[in-house]
Structure 1
Amino acid sequence: MELDGKVAIVTGGGGGIGAALAQALVDRDVRVVITDVVADGLDRVEAALGEEGSGAVATIVGDAASPDHIDRSIALAESRFGPVDLYFANAGISGAPGLAATDDEWSQVIDVNLMGHICAARRLVPEWVQRGGGYFVSTASAAGLLTQLGSATYSVTKHAAVGFAEWLNVTYGDRGVRASCLCPMGVDTKLLRPDDTPIDDEALLMQRAVETAGRVLTPAEVAGVVMDAIDDERFLILPHPEVLEMYRHKGADYDRWLKGMRRYQQSLIS
């Protein structure tokens, strides 16, 4: 897709990958609405981008999983810039570790990591089909192709996000709607390295697993890979190319891969 002059919405844009995506889009002359549940992060990002004098950024505070917030974000984009061409379903949370997670904790992670994507697509894709074009970018994770040690809620919902993005691509790809799925490993964000939350054993396992699996990238590096993938309209966006080889090994011999993952997990907690 040619990005110049397009209109985009980026969720979870108050920091990390979302803020880097917003910066990369503005650099490509895209007009961007940035949303986040935390106002402080949005204020910092808006101030940083506003210093460039483009006037191409608007922000709105709210929950990316809320249909009402999605509607308000789209309305803001349309009133300020015009019809939405791209939607980056980037907001995400790690959630609780495993079988001890409560129903409420599961619901929260499912809402943010999956239902936010579904609600946004439900709202935008029919319009894109009528217009003959649009682009949906889901931020999932390498955990959605492999798994995530230390967090069942994260692993399960990221698998689901990959599956939904695949379905969008297959179902609407011949009707002008593009869908891509971002699946990085370690990225230097607060999701990986929180600075205000005590790290329990499961969270520490999750962090160690990600940090030792490959190089931890900067959000700007990831955003650059995303822009290249959009240029090529490529579905699977892998800032860590080695994930593809891991995925191939998994598919080639699932039981051997599972045994290897158990050994890897044991090495991290020994």
Structure 2
Amino acid sequence: MKVAGKVAIVTGGGAGIGGAIARALAEGGARVVVADLDAAAAQTVAGKINADHPASAAAVGADVADADAIRGLIALAEKEFGPVDMYFANAGITGAPGLEADETAWDRSIDVNLRAHIRAAQQLVPGWVERGEGYFVSTASAAGLLTQIGSATYAVTKHAAVGFAEWLGVTYGDRGVRVSCLCPQGVNTKLLFPDESEGDGLGAAAAKAVTSAGEVLEPAQVAADVLAAVEDERFLILPHPQVLDMYRRKGADYDRWLRGMRRYQAKLLEQE
């Protein structure tokens, strides 16, 4: 799909990968609603886009795990730019390590990392089927294909996000709805490198696992990979190509892979 002339919504668009995707879309000729829990951050991204590409972006502060908030994003996009053609479900959170996450933490992770995708698809896909065209891009993680050392909530919900994206592609791929799933490893964002005052990162062992597994990419590079995949209508987006090799080794011998992951985890914990 060509992005020029399309209307897109990007969640988690106030920084990092989401902000870079929003800018790349505008540079490609799309009009973008930038959504983020941090309204000021979303406004900053939209303001910079509009400075270079006038009337190309709108910003809104929203909890995109909430169905009513998603409904509001769609209404804003339609009012400002027209019917939504593309939805980038990019917002995500990590979680406490081990089994320490309580019911509230699990519910929040499931809501943000999975149900936010489901709720957006429920509102958009029927209209796309009627129009014969639409594009849903899910930001999952390499953790959704492999796993995440440390945070169970992150590993489980990212696996679920991949599964939902696969299901969307299978169910609606022959009805005009295109689906891509982004599964990066290390990206230079607050998720990997949080501010010292914030406790929303992956945690020391998990962050070390990610940074030692390969190159830490800049968000703009990941965004370029996303738009290239959208243009080619490719499902799996792997900015770190080695993830595919790891995924193949996992599938070829699951028990060997699990043993290797346990050894890797023990090594990382020894270094703390």
Percent identity at matched positions?
Answer: 62
Per the alignment, residue 144 of structure 1 pairs with: 144
Q: By how many angstroms is 1:200 displaced? A: 10
Q: By how many angstroms is 1:54 displaced? A: 2.1
Per the alignment, residue 127 of structure 2 pairs with: 127
Per the alignment, residue 50 of structure 1 pairs with: 50
Q: By how many angstroms is 1:166 displaced? A: 0.0
How do 1:161-240 and structure 2 match up within 5 A? Answer: 161-197=161-197, 203-240=203-240
Per the alignment, residue 261 of structure 1 pairs with: 261
SS at match of 2:113: helix
The answer (yes or no) to whether the contact 2:26–2:32 under 8 Å persists in 1 is: yes
SS at match of 1:247: helix
Q: By how many angstroms is 1:53 displaced? A: 3.9
Q: Deviations over 1:178-201 (max 9, x none)?
A: 011000000000011100446699
Equivalent position amino acid for 2:240 in 1:
H
| Residue 115 to residue 258, structure 1, CA distance change in 2 (3 Å) | same
| Residue 224 to residue 43, structure 1, CA distance change in 2 (3 Å) | same
Equivalent position amino acid for 1:75 in 2:
A
The answer (yes or no) to whether the contact 2:43–2:60 under 8 Å persists in 1 is: no
**Cα distance between partner residues in 2 of 1:17 and 1:190:** 10
Q: Deviations over 1:139-168 (max 9, x none)?
A: 000000000001100000000000000000
Q: Deviations over 1:67-87 (max 9, x none)?
A: 011000000000110000000
**Cα distance between partner residues in 2 of 1:133 and 1:254:** 38
Q: Which runs of 5+ in 2 are unaligned?
A: none
| Residue 199 to residue 211, structure 1, CA distance change in 2 (3 Å) | farther
SS at match of 1:51: helix
Per the alignment, residue 92 of structure 1 pairs with: 92
Q: Deviations over 1:81-135 (max 9, x none)?
A: 0000000000000022221110000000000000000000000000000000000
Aligned length in residues: 270
Equivalent position amino acid for 2:188 in 1:
D
**Cα distance between partner residues in 2 of 1:198 and 1:35:** 21
How do 1:45-124 and structure 2 match up within 5 A? Answer: 45-124=45-124
SS at match of 2:203: helix
- TM-score if structure 2 supplies the norm length? 0.97
- RMSD (Å), alpha carbons: 1.4
**Cα distance between partner residues in 1 of 2:19 and 2:53:** 17
The answer (yes or no) to whether the contact 2:144–2:159 under 8 Å persists in 1 is: yes
Q: By how many angstroms is 1:47 displaced? A: 2.1
Per the alignment, residue 245 of structure 1 pairs with: 245
Per the alignment, residue 154 of structure 1 pairs with: 154
| Residue 112 to residue 201, structure 1, CA distance change in 2 (3 Å) | closer
**Which of 28-37 and 46-55 deviates more?**
46-55
SS at match of 1:60: strand
**Cα distance between partner residues in 1 of 2:200 and 2:162:** 28
**Cα distance between partner residues in 1 of 2:202 and 2:73:** 35
Residue 25 in structure 1 maps to residue 22 in structure 2: no
**Which of 221-230 and 198-207 deviates more?**
198-207
SS at match of 2:136: strand
The answer (yes or no) to whether the contact 2:10–2:33 under 8 Å persists in 1 is: yes
The list of structure 1 runs, each at least 4 consecutive aligned residues, that deviate by more than 3 angstroms after superposition, is: 196-202
**Cα distance between partner residues in 2 of 1:24 and 1:201:** 25
Q: Deviations over 1:15-42 (max 9, x none)?
A: 0000000000000000000100012211
